[in-house]
Amino acid sequence: MIFAEILAVGNELLIGEVLDTNTNYLAKHLTAMGVMVLKATICRDDIDEISSILDNIIGRVTFPGPPDFIIITGGLGPTFDDLTLEGVAKATGKDLEENEEALKMIKEKYKLLGEKLTRHRQKMSMLPKDAIPLSNPVGVAPGVMLKPGRVTIICLPGVPAEMKAIFEESVSKLICDKDEVTSFIEAHINIIGVMESSLAPQIEALMEEFPDIWIKSHPMGLEGLRSFIRVHITGMGVPETLIKTIEEVQKELALRVEELGGECEIIPIKIDKTIRKTENNIKNKN
Give the binding site for its own copies (CB under 8 A): 11-21, 23-32, 37-44, 46, 48-49, 52-53, 56, 61-63, 77-81, 113, 115, 118-121, 140, 159, 184, 186, 195-201, 203-204, 207, 214, 216-219, 232, 234
Minimum distance from residue 1 beta carbon to its own copies (Å): 14
Report residue 113: phi and psi, to 5°: -85, -5
> Residue 39, Cα to own-chain centre: how many angstroms?
10
Nearer residue to its own copies within complex by CB, 31 or 84: 31
Minimum distance from residue 38 beta carbon to its own copies (Å): 7
Minimum distance from residue 51 beta carbon to its own copies (Å): 9
Q: What Cα–Cα distance (Å) separates residue 224 from each residue in 101, 194, 227, 228, 244?
A: 61, 13, 8, 9, 34
Nearer residue to its own copies within complex by CB, 24 or 135: 24
Q: Tell me, what amino acid is at 256?
A: R
Minimum distance from residue 269 beta carbon to its own copies (Å): 15
Nearer residue to its own copies within complex by CB, 130 or 209: 209
Minimum distance from residue 244 beta carbon to its own copies (Å): 21
Nearer residue to its own copies within complex by CB, 245 or 274: 274
Rounded CA-CA distance 269/186 in Å is 6
Nearer residue to its own copies within complex by CB, 12 or 97: 12
Q: By three-state DSSP, how is residue 79 classified?
A: coil
Minimum distance from residue 130 beta carbon to its own copies (Å): 26
Rounded CA-CA distance 34/177 in Å is 12
Nearer residue to its own copies within complex by CB, 14 or 129: 14
Query: DSSP letter string over 115-148?
Result: ----HHHHGGGEEETT-EEE--SSSSSPEEEE-S
Minimum distance from residue 286 beta carbon to its own copies (Å): 26
Q: By three-state DSSP, how is residue 45 classified?
A: coil
Rounded CA-CA distance 188/269 in Å is 7
For residue 280, give every residue at least 6 positions away whose Cβ sits within 8 Å of its Cβ, in sequence order, or none: none
Q: Residue 186: in which H helix or E strand, if any?
A: strand 183-192
Nearer residue to its own copies within complex by CB, 147 or 210: 210
